[in-house]
A and B are shown apart, each in its own frame.
Chain A
Amino acid sequence: METNTLQTENSQAYQLEFKGQGAEYFGILIVNAILIGITFGIYYPWARAKQLQYVYSHTTLNNESFHFSGTGAEMFKGFIKLIGMYILFLIVIVLFTQFVGSPILTGIIVYLLLFAIIPILIHGSLRYRMSRTSYRGIRFGYRGDRNELAMQFFKDLLLSIVTLGVYSSWLQMNLRAYTHRHFRYGNVSFSNEARGADYFWMVLKGSLLTLVTLGIYSFWLQKDIFNYYIHNMKLAQGDQNIEFESTATGGAFFKLMLTNVLMIIFTLGIAKAWVDMRTLKFVFSNIRMKGDIDLTAISQTEEEYKDALGEDAVDFFNIDII
């Protein structure tokens, strides 16, 4: 491992690693699959908890692992609520169609409703996921305000529609910056300086180069985006800080993705477990942390939040947030 050359007197050493192994992870996935089959799907939330627990507990910082304390029971309850809401949603749509009788208007209303719940789901999901994540017994947390997030989201969404999608870069980065700024790890707060303009030009340039190079540049674009994300994260505790840098290169991204695709194709998907593990290993081994926050002197500040509705919904709709 590379050592920090910019050591100040209080600077700490941080080492982020992912220690998951394909074979172990495969074992978990296969047992999950069988239990989901035997229970006709009811085991799914427990399977998901098991899977998340494995990934979290095999992510270590200074040899100490992270922990996901969400349970299958919590996510099952959330799922029941989700089904209930879905049925309610369908009833509203059916009634609405009966009264209005215009399929186009109904379609518009359905889309508006769906968009309207996105920020609510993101908020709920982050609160759950963060409060159920811990490190050294100290919980993470999300302190964002739901209405504030929703207002920002709708404003950006409207601008994205008006600008025919151009503004969606701002939408994504504003969402990222807002949510990250409200993350906590005990009494450590997060910040994020991601800006729509930076992202927009980066993606525009990258996409043009991808076209010119017949797709080859896409791996370097991936690298740029990844590095931008990592570079913009910061942690602060009082006047102490931790900064993040990425060491990922376009070539390494190219190698990772090419091998992943080949592994999936030649094993007919069975290698998915190994692919997931090596991808996470790649991600975590390419993050460098620098700073002077003492990780053994953090105090608990965040409360537990056990409502998994948002988490389930985000999983259900396949929305990637973190």
Chain B
Amino acid sequence: MRTGAYLRRLAVAGAGALLVPQLGAQTVAITGATVYPVSGPKIERGTVVIRDGRIAAVGAGVPIPAGAERIDATGRWVTPGLVHTGTDLGIRLLRTGGSRETREDSLAGDIKAAFNVADAIDPAALTLPVARLQGITSTLAVPSTGLIPGQGAFFDLAGERVADLVAKSPAVMVIDFSESAKASAGGSRGAVLQKLRRVFRDALEYDRRRDEFRRGQIQPLAAGAEDLEALRPVLRGELPVLAIANRRRDIEAALDLAQEFGLRLVVQGGAEAWQAAAQLARARVAVVVEPLTDVPRFDALAPRLDNATLLRAAGVMVALAQRDDAHFRNLRQAAGNAVRNGMTWEDALRAVTLGPAEVAGVADRYGSLEPGKVANLVVWSGDPFEFSSRAERVFIRGRQVPPVSRQTELLERYRTLPPAY
């Protein structure tokens, strides 16, 4: 009870910080920076003009509109805001001792296709300001646990109400093909596929015979009507499947199932994806790689740090992501390590901006600095992947977010001891 009240108070304080009115015009011109639009080559001494939450112009020698707020970014680097994939930002905090009170990302049961995490996001979640300080401006947040954990949603990491920050919902249907799904299916990888096939067939059946279903003139189906209904866009190839799979065999099983049922597929994890690179390239299936994964498990006995590099070399589209115990703050470290292990810097930048926007199906609005796109961008003191660099200014939907979090407040409180309370 007390913890809950405390968290709520903090949440209100966090929201308060966000409500600081944005001074100045709605038009902002960032000038003099090295601009990495991702959609095109880098621009030296470039200008980015933001108007009404969108990018209005990008280039060298772009005219600056009258009345625009000017930000001199000489010597700075400007990139699109980083996009993190497969996170629990906004839907989960504590892992133990209080996890129930701070966890919204998981339901009981095995088939939860109708569950959408967008309905669970808390715009005041304490993780969001922490991630923003590292230049992360949006995320594909996903549900967890079960064979079909549910629907993921893509949202911006700033906004007062859920409706203000969600950009695409649902963005993906999460389906688990890995070790962690086995228990939900009865204990074997074979049963995972068997159960998924039955659920998919029943979803098609339900779609064809919903009247009979309502009248009860149909055999019991493998999932509830709501969940079967939610699978409809998946089986029409409209809503992509984010397939959690690490073992080569599981990746191939997901590819086969996708072909059988006409699914659009993205692989999440893919620790052994480098072994299936040619098939993934042929099927045009993207992989969300965690580039720091190299410890063997029976789920994947052959992970390697240059997984992303090998996949790119085979022509596979890659997004980078990384789970970490600092609440998904270390995406740029993950990207830096991908470069350390052979990926080109440009590929790595794409894999934390436009790549994940493609995975979430929002590349028309996110992931690059192009006129008309949502103005999520970061002014960095230097190379965004280096620890020595800092996100100096972070813009989300055209507004600069205050560089504060609960942690910056703790720092200031304890910077000199004893603290002044």
Q: Are A and B physically bound partners?
A: no
Residues of A within 8 A of B (CB): none
Residues of B within 8 A of A (CB): none
